[in-house]
Each structure stands twice: as C-alpha cells, then as structure tokens.
Amino acid sequence: MKSESQILAQTREFVKTKMSNDAGGHDWWHVARVVGNAKTIAETEGGDKFVIELGALLHDVADWKFHDGDVTAGPKIARDWLREMSVNDSIADKVTEIVEHISFRGGTNKHVMQTLEAEIVQDADRLDALGAIGIARVFAVGEALGKTIYNPDIPPRSYDNFKAYRNNLKDSPTVNHFYEKLLLLKDKMNTSTGRSMAEYRHGYMEGYLKEFFAEWDGEK
C-alpha cells in the first residue's frame, strides 16, 4: 500500500513527463501554480487536501486543444493512473470529476462541480488565467495558436457552443480573449476565497488593458 505522500510524489513525476512538451499555456509550471493556488484557497475553504492536490496535479493531463478536440482523453488517462496507484474508488471518482469538467470550453461548460475539492481546483485553475501570470499566458498561448496580438477590425464575440469556440480559435486576436473569456472568470468563481483573489487579478488586467489601448492609439 502506498502512502498519500508517495502517491503525490509519483503523480508529480508522471505529470511532469506527460506535460513537458506542452506550449506555455499548459506546461508543468502551470500545474505547479494551480497546486499552489489550490492550497491557498483550501487554507480558508477546507476540503480534502489529498483529493485537491491529486486533482490539481492531473487536471490538465490531456488538453482538448492538443488532442483534436477530444475531451475524453484526460479523464481516461487520470482514471488509469489512479488505478495504477491503487487509489480507492471514492477518491478516484472525485479526482476524475475534476479532470473531466474543469475546462471552460468557451463558456459552454455548464457542469456544476459536485464537490468542494472540485470547486477549489477549478478556482485555482481559473486564477492562473488571470492577473500578471494570466497576461503572460494568454500571449504565449495566442502565439502558439498562430494568432495576432490585436486587430481593431475584429471585435470580440461570444460563443453559444463549444464547436464555434474551437473553430474560431485562430481567427480571433489574442486581446479579444480577455473579453471572450478572461474578464468573465471572476463572476464564475466557486468559492469566496477564489473570488476575492480573482477580483484582485481582474483589476490588474483591467489596468493593463487600459494602458494597452492608450499605447495602441499613441496617447502616451
């Protein structure tokens, strides 16, 4: 029987090798930051720390954007890994829910997380798309997707289904992503600790955008 800390250590190594080839958005350091955010949130919100850390570690193990849009790849990889680690079914179910439902999918993901642990990991993941780190990531991912930084002729849009969001990925400039996703996140937070962290990071991004447009127009 492995101890919880052995399982976490092995999972960390597993995720590190799995994610080492990913572009800036979902590399190992994103995962490490999500673990850190989740621990901070859990300090005030509670929850089972083992489930939270396993869920945070495995949450992006297969991103649909890099698996031809296949959203079932991640949960399967996570489930197989947890079985290999002999993690019991009730913990494995909670972790798999996190991996299966964490993604934003253009705002078309309507799943309501069933456990406090899932709510915390989802908040932790959303936080990493916000603030100073969020700004760095959005431009890194935008570049990887072959997008331009900004084009005032292409206004931001909203998406009523996942397919439209996926198909539009390359056409919409990176700055639009702030309006299409990032600035919407603070109102989608699950926990009050997550929300107040998101509000702080949101304010930082608003300030950034204000500077961006002022500079775009040559005002300063």
In whole angstroms, how close is the CB of 105 to ligand ADP at the nearest point? Answer: 6
Under the phi-then-psi rule, with left for phi > 0, alpha for psi from -120 to 50, and beta for the rest, what region is 174? alpha
Which residues of this chain interact with ligand ADP, rule CB under 6 A? 25, 63, 103-105, 125, 129, 134, 137-138, 141-142, 145, 147, 169, 174, 177, 182
Cβ 192 to ligand ADP shortest distance, Å: 20
25 binds, among ligand ADP, Ni ion, none (CB under 5 to 8 A by kind): ligand ADP
Which residues are at the interface with Ni ion (CB under 5 A)? 60, 125
State the binding partner of 53 from Ni ion, ligand ADP, none, CB within 5 to 8 A by kind. Answer: none
CB nearer to Ni ion: give 99 or 220: 99
Minimum CB–partner distance for residue 34 and Ni ion (Å): 6
65 φψ region: left (φ > 0), alpha (ψ -120 to 50), beta (else): alpha
Query: How many other C-beta atoms can be found within 10 angstroms of the C-beta atom of residue 187?
Result: 10
Q: Which of 10, 55, 48, 8 is nearest to 31 (CA)?
A: 55
Burial of 207 (0-12, 13-18, 19+ CB in 10 A): exposed
